[in-house]
Structures are given as structure tokens and as C-alpha cells.
Amino acid sequence: MPTVTEASSPQSTQSGNARICRGCWDQMHMPIPIRGPLALPFRAFGITRSKMNPNICTICERSFRYVKKQSHVAASATILFADIRGFTHLSERIERVRLSEIVSLFQDRCAQAIWAHDGIVNKTMGDGLMAIFNFPIIRKDHAQAAIMAALDIQRLCAAALGSLDLDDLGDQPLGVGVGIHSGDVEIGEFSSFRSDFTAIGGTVNLASRLESQAEAGEILVSPETAAQAGALAAGAATRLLSLKGIDQPVEARVLVKRD
Amino acid sequence: MPTVTEASSPQSTQSGNARICRGCWDQMHMPIPIRGPLALPFRAFGITRSKMNPNICTICERSFRYVKKQSHVAASATILFADIRGFTHLSERIERVRLSEIVSLFQDRCAQAIWAHDGIVNKTMGDGLMAIFNFPIIRKDHAQAAIMAALDIQRLCAAALGSLDLDDLGDQPLGVGVGIHSGDVEIGEFSSFRSDFTAIGGTVNLASRLESQAEAGEILVSPETAAQAGALAAGAATRLLSLKGIDQPVEARVLVKRD
């Protein structure tokens, strides 16, 4: 099975410490200061750096309706799901305090990888998370950005989880599974009572289903994402998967981190 | 199979429109105003009603460390997962704008049911969500509260989803599956970069696994929750389930809404 090393995006250097919100700039061409002295008056009005990505502001996330003047919009995006394989098994065996360390390591390393490639950590769910690429920060190469983030996730999590002393784990390896799919999604707020900014649609569900089939260390990429990602997915092994709720089998590309 | 009707909790009348944050009161005996004129100065400092439950404030959620003086604590709780069965199938077939209507209906009806029984909507994930009972609002009868919320979820969602014109749905019924389990959890913030208040532990994972096995209209309740819930789960059918990552088969109780 071919392996792919972590690559650095030509665009990812943009993502250091942006002075203005990159989401508001990409979506509205509005310069909203998020770092430095100019950010202070905005902070007084509750506009701060988003927890989904420190290079966007809370307008992108909490005031989506204001940005888009509607509650949701169609967008082309790449969706990434990741979670810890073997976590349920582990959660039956080790102390909850140690579980919390593992969850912290996982969440922090994933966020680092996703932010480095301009994605947002949209949802966290204990030992899992969902990221969106190409919204609100626009990246034309969002399929590649997501794959590079996934490779970074695998590399960073392997190092972090490997450093833990988990004798109590037994024969079940602890690792991360990732699923990625690109396509049209509906992005916005889908609740009348909370500004719950997210993406929905078949694209999201297929990415989630792919992730559920990924073994520890694997990145399962849909044919659509692979086609957009060029060299990054070229030559990868394929695996034909029957996924719950999806009529046709999906020929996923299987990427693995380099040991 | 016995059916259970929605019951009203003797405590749920407390949950109308609390003047002070019920979480801060139960956890710290601190009266934090969340409604009325006394709430205004607090609002100026960003302390408002939480989107997880309008009877608690954002201190409970965003400043958990301040409340508990540590990043996480052990607690006894009941965890409820719910999601829309057939949603992936549906998401391949209907317009995303219509999907968003379904997600909105689901999220709103679930929140209404969970809040009525003093739970918090801790996580939403498109067509799914996770709720916590007994934290931060203390309910000694949290197992019962969660089951009553689940019965309300089934009743409210059946009415809402049934009113939709879904001819394009074909042979797959649209309904909600619920899983409930009670036990010790670790509650707190498990990320160094965001105040991501949630519960983790084996209890959470088992509740999630139960939900994944629930058919449309079903509520799968763990033996532990059933034992605490008394009459609410008495006489329910049982179903022996082998759950991924769980060593021993689980004898779930199967509750269904009354048509």
C-alpha cells in the first residue's frame, strides 16, 4: 500500500497568526481585526477569535445570519471526520481521568492539524470530531488541504498517543481513523433556538460513514475527493465499501501515515 | 411490547422560566440572575442564558473551570443520544434545503423535550444530539427524567416529521432512535484551546452504542437506567445486544412511543 508523507501547502503559510478574520475577508471582504490593538474595541462587543479556528472571528460562527443574510447557504466543501479507534473498548478499562488525557491529546493535535490547513473544527464529540474545509476560509484546493490535515492528524496523534503508557490496553491498538469526502453541502444554522453553525447533507453523511470504516491509522478518502486531490491520492490502494444508508458501494482510497 | 405514555415529572414544573441560573444554584448555591432586570448587568459581562438549556447560564457552560475550580469532575449522570433513522438514505434523495428543515424540526423538538426534564443539549451533530441529565441542574431522578424526555422526543418528532410531505422517501420510514445509559462520567473541558464542556467515559459510549441500534421510534435503555427508573421501564421488552467495543452483551429495555 503506498504511503504518503505529510506535505506542506503553499497556502498554509497564510494561516499563521492572521491580523484580520480570514473568514469575514473571504466571505464579505470585511476587515475585522482579531489580533493587535485594533482588535480591542471589537472584543468589547464580544467579537473575538473563534474556537473553531483562531484565524476567524465569532461573527463567522455565531453571527452567520448576519454574514450571509440568510440562515443557510449552499457551498462546495470538503468534510473530514476523525475519531479514536478502540476508544469504547478503552473506556471500559481505564480510569476516566486517564481517558480525559487521551481525549485532550486527540482534540488538541487534530485542531493543530486542521488549522494549519485552514479548516475549522466544527464539532467535537468526545473521542471524535468533524472539520470543514473551504468555509468560511476559502481554499480552492480544499480536498488537498483536508488530506494534508488528515496526514498531520495521523502523524501528530500517533506521536502523542504513542507516548502514553497504556499497558491496560491489551491487544486493542489505539489509533485514529479518518474519513474525507468532498461535495455540495448546506452550511448554516439549523436550529431556531441556538446559533449552531454546521454543515449538513449527503456529503457530510458519506464522510462520516467512511470514517466509521477506517481502521486505526487509516484515512479513507472518497473517489470525489481523491479526484480533486491529484498527486496526494494518486496510487493509493482502493477498498470497496458498502456503507449504511448509501445505495451504491463506494470505492474508497486508503491512505496511511508513513511510520 | 408494552408501551409507555409520556409522563410529567413532579420536578419538571420547576423548569419553566427560572429567574436565576439553576446550574449555578445547584452547583455553587450562587444566585446568578438570568431573567428580569437583575440579569442586565450580568449580560453586559457576557453572562447570558446558555444555549444548552435556557434555565442555566453561560458560566455553567463556558466557565466550567471557574465553577468547579478544576478542568473536570466525576459525576453520576444519565446520557441520552438521539438521531434520525434513515437520514443518510434521505440525504441522498432530497434537496439539502428540505434536509435542513428536517434537521431544524428534529433539533428544536428534542431541545424542547430535554429542557422540559432539566437536561442539557450538550452536543448537536446534524441529525443527532447528545443530552446530559443531572448536570449542571441536579435531578436525583435523572434516569426517569431522561426516559421521560425520550418519550417526549418520540412523540414530538413523530408529530413534526409526520407532518412533512416526504413522498420522495420511498420505503424507508423517517423516525428517531434513542439510546439511554446511566453511570459515572467525567464532566468538564477536555481541550486546552477551547472551553468545550462535555461528558466522557464508558457510560457515554454505551449510550451512543445503544442509540446506534435503536430502530425508528424506539428508545433503548440500559439495564442500569431501567433499574433506576422504576415503573417507567417496568414490563418493557428486552433485547440482547452485542455492541461494538463492549465485551459483554447488553440486555436493553425497548420502549416505544404510544401511537
Model ipTM value = 0.85
Question: b or e along B23-52 (b: 16 or more beta carbons within 10 Å of the residue's beta carbon)?
Answer: bbbbbbeeebbbeeeebeebeeeebebbbb
Chain A touched by B44 (CB under 8 Å): no
Q: Mark whether A82 and A37 lie in a shared domain.
A: no
* pLDDT band, very low/low/confident/very high, at A170 (cuts 50, 70, 90): low
Interchain CB distance below 8 Å, A196 and B46: no
Q: How far is B70 from chain A (nearest CA, A)?
A: 12
Q: Mark whether B203 and B107 lie in a shared domain.
A: yes
Q: Mark whether A65 and A75 lie in a shared domain.
A: no
The pLDDT value given to residue A2:
38
Domain endpoint, select from A69, A86, A103: A69
The pLDDT value given to residue B170:
60
The pLDDT value given to residue B211:
97
Which set of grid coordinates corresponds to residue B190? 477536555
Give me the number of domains chain A comprises: 2
Chain B residues lying within 8 Å of A100, measured CB to CB? 72, 186, 188, 190, 200
Domain endpoint, select from A51, A69, A87: A69
What average pLDDT does this structure show over A79-84? 97
Interchain CB distance below 8 Å, B103 and A205: no
Which set of grid coordinates corresponds to residue B100? 435542513
Interchain CB distance below 8 Å, A202 and B91: yes
**Pairing of β A120-125 and β A175-189:** unpaired
What average pLDDT does this structure show over A194-207? 89
The answer to whether A41 touches A147, Cβ cutoff 8 Å, is no
Q: How far is B144 from chain A (nearest CA, A)?
A: 24
Residue B127 sits in which domain range? Answer: 71-256
Q: Who contacts B223 (Cβ-Cβ below 8 Å, separation ≥6)?
A: B250, B251, B252, B253
Q: Mark whether B52 and B130 lie in a shared domain.
A: no
Domain endpoint, select from B44, B66, B88: B66
Is A219 part of a structural domain of the chain?
A: yes
Below-70 pLDDT ranges, chain B: 1-15, 167-173, 195, 258-259
The residue of B55, B189, B196, B222 whose CB has the most chain A CBs within 10 angstroms, and thus the best one to mutate to test that interface, is B196
The CATH number covering residue B99 comes to 3.30.70.1230
**Pairing of β A175-189 and β A218-221:** parallel
Is A26 part of a structural domain of the chain?
A: yes
The pLDDT value given to residue A8:
36
Chain B residues lying within 8 Å of A130, measured CB to CB? 125
Burial of A10 (0-12, 13-18, 19+ CB in 10 A): exposed
Q: Which of A35-39, A58-62, B21-25, B178-182 has the highest mean pLDDT?
A: B178-182
Chain A touched by B247 (CB under 8 Å): yes
The pLDDT value given to residue B3:
40
What average pLDDT does this structure show over A49-70? 85
Q: Mark whether B53 and B94 lie in a shared domain.
A: no
Gap between the Cα atoms of B148 and B230, Å rounded? 12
Q: How far is A119 from chain B (nearest CA, A)?
A: 16
Is B3 part of a structural domain of the chain?
A: no
The pLDDT value given to residue A168:
59
Interchain CB distance below 8 Å, A245 and B97: no
Q: Which of A85-94, A136-145, B155-164 has the highest mean pLDDT?
A: A136-145
Chain A residues lying within 8 Å of B202, measured CB to CB? 88, 91-92, 96
Chain B touched by A51 (CB under 8 Å): yes
The residue of B65, B194, B241 whose CB has the most chain A CBs within 10 angstroms, and thus the best one to mutate to test that interface, is B194
Q: How far is B40 from chain A (nearest CA, A)?
A: 15
Is B170 part of a structural domain of the chain?
A: yes
Which among B46, B111, B206 has the least Cβ separation from residue A46? Answer: B46
Residue A181 β-bridge partners? A79
Chain A, residues 157-216, CB within 8 A of chain B, namely: 184-186, 188, 190-196, 198-202, 204-206, 209
Which among B100, B104, B205 has the least Cβ separation from residue A91? Answer: B205
Which among A86, A97, A191 has the least Cβ separation from residue B107? Answer: A191
Chain B residues lying within 8 Å of A204, measured CB to CB? 91, 126
Q: Mark whether B121 and B244 lie in a shared domain.
A: yes
Is A163 part of a structural domain of the chain?
A: yes
- pTM (2 d.p.): 0.89
The answer to whether B200 touches A103, Cβ cutoff 8 Å, is yes
Which set of grid coordinates corresponds to residue A242? 458498502
Q: Mark whether A91 and A171 lie in a shared domain.
A: yes
Q: Mark whether B32 and B130 lie in a shared domain.
A: no
Q: Mark whether A49 and A166 lie in a shared domain.
A: no
Is B4 part of a structural domain of the chain?
A: no
Tell me the per-residue pLDDT of A209-248, one tens digit each, with 9 for 90 and over. Answer: 999 999 999 999 999 999 999 999 998 999 999 998 888 9
Mean pLDDT is lowest, of A10-14, A117-121, A131-135, A156-160, for A10-14
The pLDDT value given to residue B86:
87
* pLDDT band, very low/low/confident/very high, at A167 (cuts 50, 70, 90): low
**Greatest distance between any 2 Cα atoms in chain B:** 55
The pLDDT value given to residue A171:
62
Interchain CB distance below 8 Å, B125 and A127: no
The pLDDT value given to residue B2:
38
CA angle, B110 as apex, B107 and B111 as ends, to 5°?
85
Q: Mark whether B183 and B250 lie in a shared domain.
A: yes
Is A1 part of a structural domain of the chain?
A: no
The pLDDT value given to residue A5:
38
Q: Mark whether A41 and A140 lie in a shared domain.
A: no
User: In what helix (H) or strand (E) does residue B240 lie, and over which residues does it extend?
Assistant: strand B237-241
HSE (side-chain half, CA atoms, 13 Å) at B19: 4
Is B10 part of a structural domain of the chain?
A: no
Q: Mark whether A58 and A149 lie in a shared domain.
A: no
> What residue type is A129 in one-letter code?
L
Per DSSP, the residues of B134-180 read SSSS--TTHHHHHHHHHHHHHHHHHHHHHTS--GGGTTPPPEEEEEE
